[in-house]
Amino acid sequence: MDADYKWVDGIPFPTLIVENLELLRDEFVVKDEDVITLSYPKSGTTWLLEIISLIHSRGDPSWVQSVVTWDRSPWVEGVDGYEAIRKHRPEKGPRFYTSHLPIQFFPRSFFNSKAKAIYIIRNPRDIITSGYFFWKGMKIIKSPESFEQFFQWFLQGNVTYGSWFDHIRGWLSMRGKDNFLVVAYEDLHQDRRGTVELISQFLGCKLTPEELSSVLKNTSFQVMKDNKMSNFSQLPDTIMDHSKAQLIRKGITGDWKNHFTLAQSETFDKVYEEKMAGLPREAFPWE
DSSP state of 227: -
Identify which of 43, 227, 67 has the alpha carbon closest to the alpha carbon of residue 134: 43
Task: Give the H/E segment covering residue 38.
Answer: strand 35-39
Least distance between ligand A3P and beta carbon 31 (Å): 25
273-279: list long-range contacts, CB under 8 Å, 24+ apart: 275/165, 276/165, 279/168, 279/169, 279/172
Helix residue spans in 191-261 (DSSP H): 192-202, 209-218, 221-226
Q: Is 39 in the site for ligand A3P (CB under 6 A)?
A: yes
Among 45, 99, 113, 218, binds ligand A3P (CB under 6 A): 45
CB closer to ligand A3P, 31 vs 225: 225
**Contacting ligand A3P within 73-132 (CB under 6 A):** 126, 130
Active-site residue, 100 included: yes
Least CB distance to ligand A3P at residue 113 (A): 24
Single out the segment in contact with ligand A3P by CB under 6 A; choices: 17-25, 44-52, 83-91, 233-241: 44-52
Q: Which stretch binds ligand A3P (CB under 6 A): 12-20, 39-47, 136-144, 149-157?
A: 39-47
Per CB under 6 A, the list member of 113, 163, 200, 219 interacting with ligand A3P is 219
Per DSSP, the three-state class of 266 is: helix
Sign of CA dihedral 163, 169, 173, 179: positive
Q: How far is the CB of 20 from ligand A3P (least distance, A)?
A: 25
We find the least distance from the C-beta atom of residue 89 to ligand A3P, in angstroms, to be: 27
Span from 45-53, 169-177, 261-269, 275-283 in contact with ligand A3P (CB under 6 A): 45-53
Please list the helix, strand and coil fractions of the chain in percent, rounded to the nearest 5, in that order.
45, 10, 45
Of 56, 100, 167, 189, which is the active-site residue?
A: 100
Count Cα neighbours of 100 within 13 Å in the Cβ-side half-sphere.
22
Q: Which is nearer to ligand A3P, 47 or 202 (CB)?
A: 47
- Contacts of residue 155, defined as CB under 8 A and 6 or more positions apart, other chains included, come to 267, 268, 271
Binding site for ligand A3P (CB under 6 A): 39, 41-47, 126, 130, 133, 219-221, 224, 247-251, 255
Q: Supply the residues annotated as catalytic.
A: 100
